Amino acid sequence: MATHIEYSEHRFDLSTDVRTSLALTGRERIVDIGCGTGQFLRTLRDSGHCGFLVETDIRPAAVAAVASFEHTEAFHADALHLPFADHDFDRATAMYLLYYLSDPSAGLAESIE
């Protein structure tokens, strides 16, 4: 992420752009797949979002780091095999994740079912 920011030809704020494109009302159930540090959902919560928020990551250390966030659940999960039923969430995000997947198309399909 830092490399992308440093070398991008056009500056932008991905978090703001994603929030805008999601057209949030503040009550949506959102899953952030490949949450990393959990910054995106933490920003949503801090800005007043009161819907159910779930973070997932394949790395146990990332899940442990976000597990203590208030009003947010964290799951150790592979983005290609999420442990949720179809339609459990109103929105799904996967920022900075798809290029890590062995099959990005399968990851997209899994997150939108």
Cα gap 49→47, rounded to integer Å: 6
Map tokens 């996967």 to a residue.
94
74, burial (CB in 10 Å: exposed 0-12, middle 13-18, buried 19+):
buried
66, burial (CB in 10 Å: exposed 0-12, middle 13-18, buried 19+):
buried
Q: Residues 4-30: what's their mean pLDDT?
A: 84
The predicted-structure confidence for 60-110, as pLDDT tens digits, reads as follows 999 998 888 877 899 999 988 899 998 899 999 988 787 778 887 877 777
CA diameter of the chain: 39
Give me the domains of the chain, ranges plus CATH numbers.
2-112 (3.40.50.150)
The predicted-structure confidence for 27-66, as pLDDT tens digits, reads as follows 999 999 999 889 999 999 999 999 999 999 999 999 998 8
